[in-house]
């Protein structure tokens, strides 16, 4: 397979996954901002949404204030932001078109259909209800694209490369979602473990559809270290870092098997997976969750560039 | 190196037992020097198999098989990708502070002979711990004769040292006893060893010691082969001594006339051996 084809497939999935993630953090911010202000006091959930998306610098170059209007426009519809939902789908579709023959008809139809429908949303939705509907649609669209690939693509290098992109992006996103809580400052008079703290953790779980799973696994009310355990170390949770790395290693092994060659990307992915398997939550919290996530994001990016170096150039 | 391992313990009973309970430590974990590609555990009897972790973080499986049956086999088969880290173990699961591994156990109690051995090694090497440990490794390897006959699973370090004979388990116990006596944390590792001499069929797993050196962390010392661990070693379980890291521990209800066969096959994956 040509590196260029692999590159397109890889980024196609990354962008679809990223669009899904942006929709989720916007939804979470919307939910948090719906709290009565008597509860919250001075709220900063929109600013934290931008910080979580990892594009604060660009945002504050373009806007003065992080409020609902600016942030939704920036993260969802801005053309100046290369990682807005609009641009993500746009780029995904461009990538897909370049490798049209490597995709199945079902997958192309899904991507192209999403892109066509996206044109209807170009003029930002007017009401909150409309916007909420748009966010649901984004998540459904990425599920559709993901599912059509899962159901129809031949299990060969095209499929594995597209999975790699999705999993790398998802690992990055999950860790960033966990980090929201670090950026969401609790008001000074609000106790840690209090009502607002609880609500914020629960909405993190809800934003990744993991609240029910949480209760099944832990059978306890929402506690920070258990939320982190679920989203970092529990390999039965499909979004967790452990699960993403299980899949990454498997896909890299498949690629290595097909070409009969191992490389640095595979070794790095295995090393990170080993570290996740040999970590315990109390150890992570002792060193600091924010620090752990910061390091993880760097490691994850390093793996991303190792994959690029090894396969995509 | 990609190493393929199969490790089966097969029990045969003249009088069938009414039940057998076992705790297995046959499943390796990953660390920076090894990655488990695939691993499967097969039992010949239908029963519930629970996976847990013991206090050291070893992966354990436990089961109770309801009898009567004349034969029970517990087999693991899998592939592990290993890298030579010159014996240094990093990225492994560490549950305890290193001081715990100074604790003596009945199997690793140092008697006067071992204390003498340790003290004379210290006298010959001064303060350099790494040099001291390598000296002990070489001395033990030279002094002890590998012999499967005179010792058994419950032989202590002192007994084996007196005989100057033993298997990997005994050499490891002696090495651990001596190291702990010198204030160096040491632990017992059970695992597998790929033999360069082409012998792939073995009738037991392998064992070696890991000792903690301040600047390096845990380092593997294989007294049986007189080397630090390499990419030929596959690390399965850790413990204070053999009993803590044993591949199989268990009890049997009723029955009798038990004979045990252990078949271990360690080979490089992708390489065909001619028989």
Q: Write out pLDDT tens, residues A38-85.
A: 565 566 788 888 888 888 889 999 998 888 889 999 999 988 999 999
A residues 236-265 near B, CB within 8 Å? 253
A82 close contact with B: CB closer than 8 A? no
Q: How far is the C-alpha of A141 from the C-alpha of A18, rounded, in Å?
A: 12
Q: According to the model, what pLDDT value does residue A184 have? A: 67
Q: Write out pLDDT tens, residues A125-158.
A: 778 888 999 999 999 999 999 999 999 999 999 9
A277 close contact with B: CB closer than 8 A? yes
User: Which of A173, A212, A175 has the alpha carbon at shortest distance from A295?
Assistant: A175
Residues in chain B closer than 8 A to A278 (CB atoms): 29-31, 57, 91-93
B69 close contact with A: CB closer than 8 A? no
Crossing angle, helix A195-207 and helix A3-33, to 10 degrees?
150
Q: Model-level pTM greater than 0.95?
A: no
Q: How far is the C-alpha of A213 from the C-alpha of A263, rounded, in Å?
A: 36
Neighbours of A212 (CB within 10 A): 10
Domain with residues B88-245, CATH architecture: Roll (3.10)
**B2-83+247-268 CATH, one of 3.90.1300.10, 3.30.70.1290, 3.40.50.300, 2.60.40.2250:** 2.60.40.2250
Look over chain A and give the mean of its residue pLDDT values, rounded to a whole number: 88
B55 close contact with A: CB closer than 8 A? no
Q: How far is the C-alpha of B56 from the C-alpha of B53, rounded, in Å?
A: 8
Residue A170: domain span = 3-312
Q: What are the sequence ranges of the domains in chain B?
A: 2-83+247-268, 88-245
Q: Which residue on chain B is closest to A268 by alpha carbon?
A: B32
Length of chain B: 275
Cβ-contact A137, A129 below 8 angstroms: no
**pLDDT tens per residue across all 313 residues of chain A:** 888 999 999 999 999 999 999 999 898 888 888 776 656 556 678 888 888 888 888 999 999 888 888 999 999 998 899 999 999 999 999 999 999 999 999 999 999 999 999 988 877 677 888 899 999 999 999 999 999 999 999 999 999 999 999 999 999 999 988 887 776 666 666 677 777 788 888 888 888 889 999 999 999 888 888 999 999 999 999 999 999 999 999 999 899 888 877 888 998 999 999 999 888 888 888 888 889 999 999 999 999 999 999 888 8
Structural domains of chain A, count: 1
- CA distances for A288 relative to A179, A229, A293, A305, angstroms: 11, 13, 9, 26
Closest-CA distance of chain B to residue A265, Å? 14
Percent of chain B with pLDDT over 70: 98
Q: How far is the C-alpha of B143 from the C-alpha of B135, rounded, in Å?
A: 12
């Amino acid at each position: 397979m040509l590196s260029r084809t692999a590159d397109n497939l890889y980024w196609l999935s990354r962008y679809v996954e990223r669009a899904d993630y942006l929709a989720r953090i916007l939804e979470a911010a919307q939910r948090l901002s719906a709290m009565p202000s008597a509860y919250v006091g001075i709220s900063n959930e929109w600013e934290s949404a931008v910080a979580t998306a990892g594009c604060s610098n660009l945002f504050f170059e373009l806007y003065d204030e992080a409020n609902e209007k600016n942030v939704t426009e920036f993260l969802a519809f801005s053309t100046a932001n290369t990682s807005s939902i609009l641009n993500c789908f746009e780029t995904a579709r461009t990538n897909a078109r370049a490798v049209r023959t490597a995709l199945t008809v079902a997958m192309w139809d899904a991507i192209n259909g999403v892109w066509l429908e996206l044109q209807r949303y170009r003029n930002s939705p007017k009401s909150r209800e409309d916007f909420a509907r748009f966010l649901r649609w984004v998540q459904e669209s990425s599920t559709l694209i993901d599912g059509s690939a899962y159901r129809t693509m031949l299990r060969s290098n095209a499929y594995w490369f597209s999975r790699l992109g999705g999993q790398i992006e998802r690992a990055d996103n999950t860790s960033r979602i966990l980090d929201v809580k670090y950026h969401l400052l609790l008001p000074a008079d609000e106790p840690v473990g209090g009502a607002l703290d609880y609500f914020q953790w629960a909405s993190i779980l809800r934003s990744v559809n993991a609240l029910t799973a949480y209760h099944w696994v832990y059978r306890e009310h929402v506690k920070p270290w258990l939320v982190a355990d679920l989203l970092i170390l529990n390999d039965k949770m499909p979004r967790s870092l452990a699960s993403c790395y299980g899949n990454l290693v498997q896909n890299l092994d498949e690629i290595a098997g097909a070409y009969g060659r191992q490389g640095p990307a595979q070794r790095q992915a295995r090393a990170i997976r080993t570290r996740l398997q040999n970590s315990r939550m109390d150890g992570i919290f002792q060193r600091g969750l924010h620090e752990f996530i910061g390091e993880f994001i760097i490691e994850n990016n390093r793996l991303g560039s190792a994959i690029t170096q090894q396969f995509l150039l | 190196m990609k190493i393929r391992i199969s490790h089966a313990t097969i029990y045969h009973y003249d009088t069938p037992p009414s039940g057998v309970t076992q705790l297995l430590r046959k499943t390796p974990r990953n660390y920076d020097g090894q990655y488990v590609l695939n691993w499967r555990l097969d039992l010949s009897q239908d029963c519930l198999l629970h996976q847990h972790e013991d206090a050291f973080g070893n992966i354990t499986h436990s089961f109770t098989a309801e009898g009567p049956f004349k034969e029970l086999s517990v087999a693991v088969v899998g592939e592990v990708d290993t890298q030579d880290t010159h014996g240094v173990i990093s990225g492994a699961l560490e549950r305890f502070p290193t001081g715990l591994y100074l604790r003596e156990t009945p199997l690793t109690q140092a008697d006067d002979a071992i204390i003498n051995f340790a003290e004379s090694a210290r006298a010959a090497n001064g303060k350099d711990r790494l040099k001291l440990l390598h000296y002990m490794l070489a001395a033990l390897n030279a002094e002890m004769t590998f012999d499967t006959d005179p010792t058994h699973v419950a032989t202590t370090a002192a007994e084996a040292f007196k005989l100057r004979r033993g298997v990997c388990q005994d050499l490891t116990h002696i090495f651990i006893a001596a190291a702990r006596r010198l204030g160096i944390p040491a632990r017992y590792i059970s695992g597998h060893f790929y033999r360069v001499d082409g012998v792939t069929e073995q009738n037991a797993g392998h064992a070696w010691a890991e000792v903690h050196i301040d600047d390096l962390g845990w380092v593997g010392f294989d007294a049986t082969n007189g080397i630090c661990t390499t990419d030929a070693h596959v690390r399965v379980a850790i413990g204070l001594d053999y009993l803590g890291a044993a591949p199989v521990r268990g009890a049997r209800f009723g029955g009798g006339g038990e004979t045990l066969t252990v078949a271990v096959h360690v080979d490089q994956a992708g390489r065909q051996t001619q028989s």
